[in-house]
């Protein structure tokens, strides 16, 4: 989720449902200054913990689904992104849409709403809305999360929704295994060249296809 936030984008970054702060930690590790982070958490004990754990970060105790009221006077300029771990699927679709609308109202026109979910489909399907026009980017599943999770990025229609994120784990594994395969093939070729006489027939059992 943190990789979907560009540290260069101007303005505060709002986190919804930070809990004990794993996403907050990742946002800070990404290079966001603590003063840029505004956390909205409902549970008072989590708010106390977050304040102790992350000096300089602003913690607002309140209801994220009433974002406009909860953050009234908390932001002095448009936010760059809203990052949410709220369990959206427990809410009615109209509440999810209202949350996205309120988040867009708080952000600059380039702002992104980044949502974590265990669902396979977007928790805020575009067909729900007639008045709010937005685009959705679905990122590859995070298989290492149990259960596997997904991240959806929402932005206003016509804006650049493409989010930066490391390549999917499976794609990484595939890339590594191809490199490994190519190395073995190179070594085989070298061994062949060293041990065979110029006119010896090439063994046919070893494929020399490179990927």
Ligand X SMILES: C[S@@+](CC[C@H](N)C(=O)[O-])C[C@H]1O[C@@H](n2cnc3c(N)ncnc32)[C@H](O)[C@@H]1O
Give the residues lining the site for ligand X (CB under 6 A): 17-19, 22-23, 40-43, 46, 63-65, 85-87
What radius of gyration, in Å, describes the C-alpha atoms of the chain?
24
Nearest CB to ligand X, comparing residues 64 and 79:
64
Q: How far is the CB of 77 from ligand X (least distance, A)?
A: 22
Q: How far is the CB of 20 from ligand X (least distance, A)?
A: 6
Q: How far is the CB of 37 from ligand X (least distance, A)?
A: 13
Nearest CB to ligand X, comparing residues 65 and 140:
65
Nearest CB to ligand X, comparing residues 21 and 111:
21
Q: How far is the CB of 101 from ligand X (least distance, A)?
A: 16
Instruction: Tell me how far CA of residue 122 lies from CA of 29, 134, 151, in angstroms.
Output: 27, 12, 9
Q: How far is the CB of 104 from ligand X (least distance, A)?
A: 18
Nearest CB to ligand X, comparing residues 17 and 111:
17
Nearest CB to ligand X, comparing residues 13 and 156:
13
């Amino acid at each position: 989720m943190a990789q979907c936030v560009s540290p260069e984008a101007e303005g505060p970054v709002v986190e919804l449902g930070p809990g004990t702060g794993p996403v907050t930690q990742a946002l800070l590790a990404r290079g966001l200054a603590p003063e840029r982070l505004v956390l909205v958490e409902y549970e008072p004990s989590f708010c106390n913990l977050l304040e102790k754990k992350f000096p300089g970060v602003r913690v607002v105790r309140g209801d994220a689904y009433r974002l406009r009221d909860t953050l009234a006077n908390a932001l002095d300029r448009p936010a760059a992104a809203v990052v949410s771990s709220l369990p959206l699927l427990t809410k009615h679709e109209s509440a999810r849409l209202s949350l996205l609308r309120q988040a867009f109202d708080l952000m600059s026109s380039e702002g992104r709403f980044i949502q974590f979910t265990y669902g396979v489909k977007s928790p805020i399907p575009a067909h729900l809305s007639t008045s709010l026009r937005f685009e959705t980017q679905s990122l590859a599943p995070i298989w290492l999360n149990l259960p596997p999770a997904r991240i959806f990025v929402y932005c206003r229609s016509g804006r650049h929704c493409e989010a930066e994120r490391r390549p999917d784990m499976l794609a990484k594994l595939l890339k590594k295994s191809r490199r490994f395969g190519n190395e073995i093939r190179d070594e085989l070729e070298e061994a062949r060249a060293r041990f065979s006489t110029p006119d010896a027939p090439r063994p046919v059992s070893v494929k020399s296809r490179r990927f």
